Every structure is written in structure tokens, then in C-alpha cells.
């Protein structure tokens, strides 16, 4: 645990400065909390079309290169999770499926599909807000991002703006029950 309640796990020794800011390819990225605010803004867009409010941004060299939100209801596509869409867009920007120098910031702990996509994309770092006790595959139910049996491990930071992320989801579901 870090001093602000975030959990950090890594198979690399990357130096940490204040509140989750880490160097990626020699350039310091924005604060994780600021990036989570951008993911939260994206999540709120999902609500407008009836999708669960989950948002994601992908950062490379200090620049947001992709931002998406859930679109399952909008498109009828069961794979249209914010993380999958953001990783696809990021790969298009980078020109490669290998996103080892990128960070994915997402408002909800990724499911098995999205955690697996992060591993398969060779993602360098994953930051999430609220834990998903029902389907979370990065810490809550499974440990896909740090499974030693897989060919890649993703550095993980959990719990960034967790209360705000969790409240957005709770409010969404409270209206629908």
C-alpha cells in the first residue's frame, strides 16, 4: 500500500515520485489522479446512451493517445468495453499491437477479457479506480495481470480515485433498480 491508499504491484522496479507519477520511456506522465479524472469524464459519456459508466484513457510519453467509454448497449457488441476500445485505438495510433510503453487508466477493475487484452497488448502499466468484486480479474477474483504462468506481466496500480469511481457506478445502478 502507498500512503494514499493505492495498491501497487510490479515485476519491474520503477521509481515512484509523488501520488503515482511514474516515468515512462524517460518522460514523466501526468499524475494518476488527473488521468483518472479524464477517464471519469469519459465514463460519464457512457451513461448518456445507457451503458455502464466505465471510461478509459491510454497514455504514452505523457500524452493521452486514446480515450473511450463502454459502448455495449450502444453497439450491441459484447466486447465493447472501454478498455478494449481504448487499447484498439491506442494500437492504431502507435502502429503496433505492442503497447509496452503505454499506461491504461480505467475507472473500474478490468474483467478477465480486458485484463487478458492488457497482457496480450504487452501493456506496460494499468491503473484502475474501483475494485470489481463480481468480475474483477486483476486483483479481486483473479490475478491475470501478474500471473507468472503468462508470458507478460502488467504493472498494476489499484484504487486511484476509487471512491469517486465507485460512487458513479453505484448511482448508475441505483437508478435502474
Residues noted as catalytic: 83
Contacts of 131 (CB under 8 A, 6+ apart): 109, 139, 140, 158, 159, 162
Contacts of 163 (CB under 8 A, 6+ apart): none
The cell for 74 is 450502444
Q: Which of 112, 137, 139 is nearest to 1 (CA)?
A: 139
Amino acid at each position: 500500500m502507498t500512503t494514499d491508499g493505492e495498491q501497487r504491484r510490479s515485476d519491474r522496479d520503477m521509481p515512484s515520485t509523488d501520488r503515482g507519477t511514474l516515468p515512462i520511456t524517460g518522460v514523466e506522465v501526468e499524475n494518476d489522479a488527473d488521468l483518472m479524472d479524464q477517464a471519469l469524464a469519459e465514463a460519464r459519456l457512457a451513461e448518456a446512451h445507457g451503458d455502464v459508466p466505465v471510461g478509459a484513457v491510454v497514455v504514452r510519453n505523457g500524452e493521452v493517445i486514446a480515450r473511450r467509454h463502454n459502448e455495449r448497449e450502444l453497439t450491441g457488441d459484447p466486447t465493447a468495453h472501454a478498455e478494449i476500445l481504448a487499447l484498439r485505438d491506442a494500437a492504431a495510433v502507435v502502429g503496433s499491437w505492442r503497447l509496452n510503453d503505454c499506461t491504461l487508466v480505467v475507472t473500474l477493475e478490468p474483467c478477465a477479457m480486458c485484463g487478458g487484452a492488457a497482457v496480450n497488448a504487452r501493456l506496460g502499466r494499468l491503473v484502475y479506480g474501483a475494485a470489481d468484486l463480481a468480475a474483477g480479474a486483476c486483483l479481486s477474483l483473479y490475478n491475470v495481470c501478474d500471473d507468472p504462468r503468462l508470458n507478460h506481466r502488467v504493472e498494476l496500480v489499484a484504487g486511484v480515485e476509487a471512491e469517486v469511481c465507485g460512487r458513479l457506478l453505484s448511482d448508475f445502478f441505483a437508478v435502474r433498480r
